[in-house]
Amino acid sequence: MNNMKSDAPLLEVSRLSKSFSSHRGLSRKKAADIRAVNDVSFSIARGETLGVVGESGCGKTTMGRSILRLLEPTAGKVEFGGVDVLGLRGAALRSMRRRMQIVFQDPFSSLNPRMTVGAAVREGILIHQLAHGRDADQRVKVLFEEVGLDPAYVSRYPHEFSGGQRQRIGVARALSVEPEMIVCDEPVSALDVSVQAQVINLLQDLQRDRGLTYLFIAHDLSVVQHIADRVAVMYLGRIVEIASSKDLYSDPIMPYTQALLSAVPRPEPGRQTARIVLQGEPPSPANPPPGCVFYPRCHHPRKDEACTQIIPPLEEKTPGHFAACIKEPPRTVELLMLAAQAAR
């Protein structure tokens, strides 16, 4: 985790939503909109790493791409360094995109197979007119060294590299325009475990040396625990809990977060807790349940009819620890005891 954080927010997201139109049948009749991201708000301090976790399909990637305007948000506000990102057009938007970059999940499809890796990294330098000719070539070689690759590799093509090497090239490409923030969209999920550790260590070293800010999207909670200062948990397009990494992993409040963490293997013998098994599947984002979206699968001992009528706001339950639950938060020990009783 980074120790060079600033309290001033670099990124502020307010009530961000993104919906997709859906159609059915051969007539392509319009059906209900799919709200992939639903009224999401958070901020990230300069130099901080905010981890975002949740099940596949919960809206993590859509949220990250909407912040960068790779997808146009349906509603909400995004401010980066005090500038309204959603109000930018043309040259102003291109200039802002230099400050916010992305490392994609799949290192195999994120690079053009017909372009040398050196040309792929050089592209952003030329577009933003940061250097030209030999100066641009030299910057590319320095970037390759910075991410742990031999500068002699710049003339090779993507198919000549392993997955871990390709992801390092993706990191170099993001760094080429000297960004302030990088959205890391599951950057290690396609890599072997040993290579994952190398890439995570690289990202941490770059953050320390360059003062970078990360929005780190992942489904592996153990990876997020290692790299994140704070963690946001998403479920069906909403943030349902957000807290410091230490607080969230030691004492999660939201029943959904508790279920996720109960499934994480622990390396210490005898420390593995009872598994909380969620019933059923997540509801469709095209037809979410009324009230709390987690209610159909919730194992909270005090859930009742009110949970189906009230959309729980993200409230501060303890200092710096926010959760979306209208009930008095049960402690983790209480829920684990209930899960153990149900398993008998």
List pLDDT tens digits, range 227-243: 999 999 999 999 999 99
Q: Average the pLDDT over each of 60-69, 79-88, 276-285 and give the range with the smallest value.
A: 276-285
List pLDDT tens digits, range 236-264: 999 999 999 999 999 999 999 998 888 77
The 8-class DSSP code of residue 325 comes to -
Closest by Cα among 47, 38, 43 to 2: 47
- Hey, is 147 helix, strand or coil? coil
The mean of the pLDDT values for the chain is 88
pTM, entire model:
0.88
Report how far residue 124's alpha carbon sits from residue 173's, in angstroms, rounded to the nearest whole number: 7
The 8-class DSSP code of residue 87 comes to G
pLDDT over threshold 70, residue 6: no
pLDDT band for position 220 (50/70/90)?
Answer: confident
In the chain, ranges of CATH 3.40.50.300 domains: 1-21+32-250
Judge whether 217 and 228 are in contact, CB under 8 Å: no
pLDDT over threshold 90, residue 214: yes
pLDDT over threshold 60, residue 3: no
Residue with the larger pLDDT of the pair 7 and 271: 7
Q: What is the pLDDT of residue 103?
A: 95
Q: What is the pLDDT of residue 333?
A: 46
List pLDDT tens digits, range 91-132: 999 999 999 999 998 888 889 999 999 999 999 999 999 999
Q: What is the pLDDT of residue 275?
A: 78
Q: What is the pLDDT of residue 202?
A: 95
Judge whether 234 and 59 are in contact, CB under 8 Å: yes
User: If you average pLDDT over residues 69-74, what whole number do you get?
Assistant: 95
CA 257 to chain centre: 16
List pLDDT tens digits, range 179-188: 999 999 999 9
- Hey, is 31 helix, strand or coil? coil
Judge whether 125 and 138 are in contact, CB under 8 Å: no
The 8-class DSSP code of residue 284 comes to P
Q: Which CATH number fits domain 1-21+32-250: 3.60.130.10, 3.30.110.60, 3.40.50.300, 3.40.1280.10?
A: 3.40.50.300
